[in-house]
Amino acid sequence: MSTRKRARLMSNLETAKLPEKEPIDFDEFFISFVKWQPEIIDYVISHIGKGCLTIFLDCDALVPFILPYIERQVEIVTHPVKITGPLVWESFGSDNTKIPRLSMGELKQIMDKYKICPKEAVIINPRHIVADSIEMKKYTLTQSSDDSFTDSPDDEREVSHHPCGKQFYRKLHKWCLHYQEILSKIANWNLEEYVMYSDETKFMSKLNCFMNFQSIMYKFPYLNDDDEDEFHHEAQKGIINTIPNSVVSLELFMTHKLQNFNFLKYSSLRKLSCPIASHNQINLIPPCVESLNLFVHSFKVEVTFLDTDKVPQNLKEFVVMAYGFPNIEILIKQMDKLESFKISQYWTSTRIESLCLPDSNITNLVFESCCFDDYSSIRKYKGLKILKIIDSFILPNLLVSKDDFPNLKTFEYRPGNYRNEDPPESNAIDSKVIFPPNLSNLSLEGDITIEDLVLPRNLQMLTLKGTKFPRGIKLRFPDTLFRLKILMTTITSLNGVLFPKNLQVLILTDNRLLKSMTNTNLSRLEHLYIVDFSGTTIANQDMPSETNKYKYNSFTAPIEDRGYGY
């Protein structure tokens, strides 16, 4: 949505809402809300946690605005979100739920009633979803012509919903038949499965008969290097064989060697995450892969690549835990189309040039637990939008000119001395650090001393966590800032601080040394809707406005909810 259109919508919302100082009656508000202009309703719906949307399907006026989210993607769950009690802020919070969450029974009812079908569905731990569904009898167990199971005395003694036994598979078959229309109609199923049972191959083979898995993530149990677990090794071989050739995304997370490593048959594969144990395995990755995540399965494994080893030519995203790959640069320098790059635990060299990053249109760079002492060479990436330096030190040779990163939107810096034998004595940021003017999200976390700081003029979100202010906080906040978080710092006073007038979220938690905050404009911030001073005891301070409609206000929240309200 364009800035101009968003501004017009917000203006319409200001006109449409009820008087600020009158208590809101939800029924009256809701009746008014459904009569608003369609674009305003759509905008409001977009800010509601998607797991809550289905409760509004009983309102015919809102159905057209909700169904598109269901048609796009849903997550299958056993226990959908149920809202009880009064409808308040917390009822509709965007609680990391980005897609509607429905049980199979609810989805079946919606598909039948509105004649729609989601394009994609996410299902996490389907074995447990099926087992819980059987236990709670959420569907009718209909007989089928293919039901060849017969009860035996052993079956009667078996717990009927145990996710491995004969009765479970008999009822799994009936469950699949009951929801066959859903399972087959949804074109793309995204699976996340934790491998816990010996019959995983049998279970997945059964689901493959009814579902088209386009995205698969398997998480295997943790095994020590010395474990000789024949069961898991054999189970792994069988599970790999159940992966359909048409899979688009495949993620395998394990702490033991991947058996039968050969992905060339997956001609549609675009994303792959897996451990490798030898250099030649890199050549068994199909050329169509665009996103690749590599790691070794054990800290005892080391893989050295050869100049003849090749990566997929169209690779756009590369994530690597470099420990175990002493010459990973042989692969990196081939990635001419690379756009996103993340490397962690790289201790081979202190020179970032040793990575041989290509001269491509990189827009996302993440360095985590690396020992580089000079980041200046990445200034050549003028298209960079996201830069994160975590558990690593950055010296003042990176942000020296406003022209260096004209497109940078997010910068996160969290220093550390991980694996560094001689960390810098000081890690200070002062006025000499020049942030890109278009930076909108800045996060500084950890042992950082802030002497003085000139914030970029278009900054929207600022996080300062664990930072030190030896001379007090002397920041001039731009009016564009709407989210400010200051946590666990050494600030002792916020007297006279002028917060940006458009501030919506103010979080000042666990600042144990903060004792005074007076002569501020806190009480005049009309857009503020989240205020949290938890863990901060101030004897003399200004208070936020009492007339704002808060999602969370630690000053007025019940004691048991303080710190957990948003």
- Count Cα atoms within 13 angstroms, Cβ side, for 182: 23
Helix or strand holding residue 449 (H, E):
strand 449-450
From the list 366, 361, 367, 293, the residue with the least C-alpha distance to 331 is 293
In this structure, the dihedral spanned by the alpha carbons of residues 556, 557, 560 and 561, taken in order and rounded to 10 degrees, is -150
Q: Which CATH number fits domain 426-566: 1.10.3470, 1.10.10, 3.80.10, 3.30.70?
A: 3.80.10
Burial profile 246-260: b = 16 or more Cβ within 10 angstroms, e = fewer: ebbbbebbbbbbbee
- Give the orientation angle of helix 104-114 with respect to helix 63-72, to 10 degrees: 120
CB distance 516 to 496 below 8 Å: no
Over residues 86-112, mean pLDDT: 77
Placement of tokens 């000081």 in the chain: 426
Over residues 426-439, mean pLDDT: 82
pLDDT of residue 418: 38
Least confident of 222-236, 366-380, 434-448, 528-542: 222-236
Summary mean pLDDT of the chain: 83
CB distance 316 to 342 below 8 Å: no
pLDDT of residue 203: 92
Helix (H, G, I), strand (E, B) or coil at 131: helix
**Residues 60-81: pLDDT tens digits?**
999 999 999 999 999 999 877 6
pLDDT of residue 161: 45
**Residue 496 zone, left/alpha/beta (φ > 0; ψ -120 to 50; rest):** left
Helix or strand holding residue 15 (H, E):
helix 3-16
Neighbours of 542 (CB within 10 A): 17
**Residues 137-183: pLDDT tens digits?**
655 544 443 433 333 444 444 444 456 678 888 889 999 999 999 99
Helix (H, G, I), strand (E, B) or coil at 353: helix
pLDDT of residue 20: 45
Domain spans in the chain, listed from the N-terminal domain onward: 3-114, 426-566
